[in-house]
Amino acid sequence: MELKRLQYFVALAANGNFTKTADQLNIAQSALSVSMQKLEKEIGLKLINRTNRQIQLTSDGMRLLFHARRILEDVALAEIEMDELKGLERGKIDFGVSAMLGSYFFPEALAAFTETYPNIRIHIQEHGTATLEKMLLEGALDLAFVRTDHPLEQLRYVALCPEEIVACVNKSHPFAQRSEVSLEQFCQQPLILFRDGYLLREAISRYCRNNNITPDIRYETNLIELVKALLKKDIGISTCLRRIIHDNEPLVCVPFSPPIKVEFGIGWKSSHYLSNAARAFLKFMEDWHKTNR
């Protein structure tokens, strides 16, 4: 069974389309089609149902996809480990972080890391916490900055920094004079929220579901600077982490009652081989956050 055919198969399963997959792989669509036909013939099972331009995997195809992903991940990890046994450093890290957390938690730390390890390249991918955890489990990331207070069994973590989710309001809003606010009171206001699947939305969505509340959501956006701009216009209120609000801004952070505590750190898949570069990054970030809390 050729690895290249498995790579093509996994890419096709992800895209669900021959044309898009062929473009992504930089091969002719006919070559991709022939490769999949040879894979089915080699295995002796029908793997793909072709309907117009889209494809769907058969039940046998889904089982192969499970094994193919594991095989390709193991091959990639073996290549890294063998290179390092020969004294070669890969020098590349696939690191995941949400856009907001990356913007406020990492600029100084990443700059300091690059000064110390100038030959290590970091490929940053921005997604919500749920997606980052899924990518870690699938082997698509080496490391990711995620919550560590809701651990998954297949992941390992290094906790770096405790935080608190708070309400964020314009200083002219009545809540600005309060020492705390409940989720019930918060959800009765016009809201500017991150999209579902993102940390700052989770507690609000869960409370509304549990209490059959339809919140008055005026805007949904993952652009934190847009959220802050709308808050400054007093269009609604939102949630945030304290560190993203500066003292010179006309915005006020109000704690929730009861408090919504979270903890962030770096996670990785337990069975995933961490390269020398990834281990150096992990150790550096742990030391840096201890020193700069």
Domain 3-84 has CATH 1.10.10.10: yes
Residues shown for the chain:
293
> What per-residue confidence (pLDDT) applies to 199?
80
Does the pLDDT value for residue 88 go beyond 50? no
Query: What fold does the segment set 162-262 form as a domain?
Result: D-Maltodextrin-Binding Protein; domain 2 (3.40.190)
- In DSSP terms, which residues pair with 157 in a beta bridge? 267
So where are the chain's domains? 3-84, 89-158+264-292, 162-262
Tell me whether the omega of the peptide bond preceding residue 118 falls within 30 degrees of 0, making it cis.
no
pLDDT digits (tens, 9 = 90+) for 231-263: 999 999 999 998 888 878 899 999 999 999 999
Domains 89-158+264-292 and 162-262 share a fold: yes
Q: Say if CB 166 and CB 240 are below 8 A apart.
A: yes
pTM higher than 0.75, yes or no? no
- Residue 94 CB coordination number (10 Å): 18
Structure tokens at 41: 């013939």
Query: What fold does the segment set 89-158+264-292 form as a domain?
Result: D-Maltodextrin-Binding Protein; domain 2 (3.40.190)
* CA-to-CA separations, 173 to 170, 189, 249, 258, 272, in angstroms, rounded: 5, 11, 14, 21, 48
pLDDT digits (tens, 9 = 90+) for 13-28: 988 888 888 888 888 8
d(C-alpha 130, C-alpha 32), whole Å = 32
pLDDT digits (tens, 9 = 90+) for 181-209: 999 999 999 999 988 877 888 889 988 99
Strands 143-147 and 217-220: unpaired
Percentage with pLDDT > 90 across the chain: 45
